[in-house]
Structure 1
Amino acid sequence: MTHSAIDPAREGRFILLLGALVAFGPLAIDLYLPALPAIASGLAASAEAVQLSITVFLAGFSLGMLFYGPLSDRYGRRTVMLSGIALFAAASLACMLATAVEQLIVARFVQALGGGAASVLARAVVRDVYTPTEAIRKLSLMAMVTAIAPLLAPLLGSLLLVQFGWRGTFAAVVLWGVLSLLVVWFQLPETLPAGQRGQLPLSRAFAIYGSLLVDPVALGLMLAGGMSFAAMFAYITASPFYFIELHGFSPFAYGLLFASNAVGIFAANYVNSRLVKAQGPAVMAGFGSGLGFLGALLLWVAAGVNDALPAVIVGLFMVVSMTGLLGANCVGLLMARYPQNAGAAAALFGASQFGLGMLASAAVSYTHDGSGRPMAWVILVTAAASLAGYLLFRRAAR
């Protein structure tokens, strides 16, 4: 299946479907955030134990991605994706039926292992079908679809919580998994023909990760995109306490603020999809890492000066908006560099995003001191590392 095989009428549906598949991770996290206190009381567990279900989800998601990339380069995208989505749906059902917090934590880990398939392989499918620059445009359009998940998920999650209790939020995720399975089964053909698959034994296919990790161009791209994503996870972890408890925002007002940042991701990707052909992905990624760092600097100054809220909000908006733009350009450039191992390249990129996100989330929790300063510090460090990664990429690429 090549670009020419998709007529324009079907192309919109194709990108919509792939964007929805990339949203598996954000949806499975953001949908149940409003239900965390209810889950803690429902399962007679501590808040820390329930929060652990977010950490193990990120770990499982990263690990799953690393498996699916080389497997799909070897056996094709479709079968591997269907297997992962089926595992996600079954584990979501186990989450819904959990009667103890330990069961929930194990089920969340398995759910994440399955969910990684859809997220990473949707990106690899784009690389199979389009030329490198066209692929980055499509990845930006997909990121716009994906940005809708954190926009709507917490609001939908709180509605489901009120109507059906915390198990209702997991019931919605089960439904999402089953629907995705059916849509992929009937609508997504195989995009990597047998003749184009890697013929290496699996052990060698996994060894490609070693070559990626010692390639300074690849390392720079993973740092630029991954550290920007980590900054967003620091914000996701710290912001409920910062805005609701420290500054007295209502949960609804916090939901609106959360949504406005998702609109920023949406807008940045729209601009990227329009400009990337003329400017090139490397230049657009430079804008992203530079603006993200400026936003982090503003946030750090504002949090240190008596929590100047308007400046904090503007700084966060700049940092979060750039994550999607950096993600689309960096993963697109990485897959273009490794066309024979696009699945593995997309997998390592995705795993580095979620792995670094997990570390940033843990750093914010560990340094929590009742103020906004730990959030500002962690975001400043990650944004600086993202900019350093971009500079490493540019230098190595020359």
Structure 2
Amino acid sequence: MTNPAIEPAREGRFILLLGALVAFGPLAIDLYLPALPAIAIGLAATPEAVQLSITVFLAGFGLGMLFYGPISDRYGRRTVMLSGIALFALASLACMLATGVEQLIAARFVQSLGGGAASVLARAVVRDVYTPTEAIRKLSLMAMVTAIAPLLAPLLGSVLLAGFGWRGTFAAVLLWGVLSFVVVWRYLPETLPAERRGQLPLGAAFAAYFHLLRDPVAVGLLLAGGMSFAAMFAYITASPFYFIELQHFSPAAYGALFAANAVGIFAANYVNSRLAKSRGAAVMAGVGSASGLAGALLLWMAMSVGEAVPAVIAGLFIVVSMTGLLGANCVGLLMARYPQNAGAAAALFGSSQFGFGMWASAAVSYTHDGSGRPMAWVILVTAAISLAGYLLFRRVSR
């Protein structure tokens, strides 16, 4: 550790807190997935309109990250993070009280703008406190904590749906936002002191994005990690319809299946936390991108031969699990390359994840044809681009 703001004895709690903050996005999406059909009925909306609330959330989350990264590089992490969490909580209340799908979509957009602060700045805090090599290992440990959100959220969402209706899911998200604000305000110190902040004007701080986007190494890392995330969001958007409506899974059974994929993310991050230092982050990212494409091919073939459901589940498990290898390693490598703009680097990476996720989510919704084939095609394309991005990164690095 390089920052005295965090005492070694508190390191476990520190990583737990940061992992929980990164979980803002997954929690706000996964908790209400089992309730999507009920929301459509309750708000007299089409399934496509309700699915749009996912797409809009991804767009706002990515935009929020781009805003918070350079600002935190210039003015510090803590105040910016607290402001975003407060906005998230207020918008969650608006989601809970929505009386029409248009209101829900608008509130979800504002909610996502606030939630992006916690997710991106938690990663930047890690880079403030740890050396580049150790930061990648800590990011994997954080991702293990974050994986608990998709592991438990659909199951909790099913319980809340049965007991309180779909509004109960947003009440739980509201409670999460309020508790997170209190914990951050009380226990998270400022990890980027004034003497370590960039002294450039704010406009120049935002210009860091252009330097990153002109760097082929950075572009390769953004594609490798971002497109893997997009594949997962194609699954998140399409899977409620495919498994609940088409394959007749109960909401509880769907929640259990979703939890199994979260276990895969957890396991991949555990392996990465053990091997990233000895094998190297670049090698582990390569394993993730190649395995993700293999899983996407299995899914595509399963859909092409009459929707063999066990093979579909296996392919999805591989694809989703590999986000655990690609996320921590790609963002860690990117922040190590730009240590003076760690907030901007983390923000651009997170924004690319959710931006590509929005594209994949929209593509699945637009090509919806009453089957699972659009999901398989979108996942195959995103997995192929992810591997191409990794190969670009390796070629230019060498």
TM range (shorter): over 0.9
Q: Secondary structure at the match of 2:199?
A: coil
Deviation at 1:8, TM superposition (A): 3.9
Which residue in 1 is equivalent to 2:159? 159
Which residue in 2 is equivalent to 1:388? 388
- Deviation per residue, 1:61-113 (Å, 9 max, x gap): 01000000000000000010011001111111121222332222211111110
2:234 maps to 1:212: no
Which residue in 1 is equivalent to 2:351? 351
Stretches of structure 1 that go unaligned for 5 or more consecutive residues are: none
Which residue in 1 is equivalent to 2:270? 270
2:77 maps to 1:77: yes
2:240 maps to 1:240: yes
- 1:1-398 pair list within 5 angstroms: 2-3=2-3, 6-398=6-398
TM-score by length of 1: 0.97
Q: Which amino acid aligns with 1:107?
A: A
- Deviation per residue, 1:175-209 (Å, 9 max, x gap): 11111001001110000010110111111111111
In 1, Cα distance between equivalents of 2:31 and 2:301: 32
- Sort the Cα spacing of 1:152 and 1:194 in 2 relative to 1 into closer, same or farther, 3 A: same
Worse-superposed segment, 303-312 or 116-125: 303-312
**Conserved 8 A contact 2:3-2:191:** no
Q: Which amino acid aligns with 1:74?
A: R
Q: Secondary structure at the match of 1:198?
A: coil
In 2, Cα distance between equivalents of 1:197 and 1:272: 31
Worse-superposed segment, 124-133 or 291-300: 291-300
Worse-superposed segment, 117-126 or 356-365: 356-365
Deviation at 1:118, TM superposition (A): 0.0
- Sort the Cα spacing of 1:242 and 1:182 in 2 relative to 1 into closer, same or farther, 3 A: same
**Conserved 8 A contact 2:34-2:240:** no
**Conserved 8 A contact 2:54-2:361:** no
Deviation at 1:154, TM superposition (A): 1.1
In 1, Cα distance between equivalents of 2:40 and 2:240: 17
In 1, Cα distance between equivalents of 2:104 and 2:260: 31
Deviation at 1:4, TM superposition (A): 5.4
**Conserved 8 A contact 2:158-2:252:** no
The ranges of structure 1 where at least 4 consecutive aligned residues each deviate by more than 4 angstroms after the TM superposition are none
Q: Which amino acid aligns with 1:276?
A: A
Deviation at 1:367, TM superposition (A): 1.8
In 1, Cα distance between equivalents of 2:162 and 2:252: 14
- Sort the Cα spacing of 1:107 and 1:371 in 2 relative to 1 into closer, same or farther, 3 A: closer
- Deviation per residue, 1:271-326 (Å, 9 max, x gap): 00001110110011011111111111121122212222222222111111001210
Q: Over aligned residue pairs, what C-alpha RMSD do you find? A: 1.4
Stretches of structure 2 that go unaligned for 5 or more consecutive residues are: none
In 2, Cα distance between equivalents of 1:255 and 1:44: 24
In 2, Cα distance between equivalents of 1:40 and 1:242: 16
Worse-superposed segment, 9-18 or 247-256: 247-256
**Conserved 8 A contact 2:151-2:259:** yes
In 2, Cα distance between equivalents of 1:197 and 1:4: 16
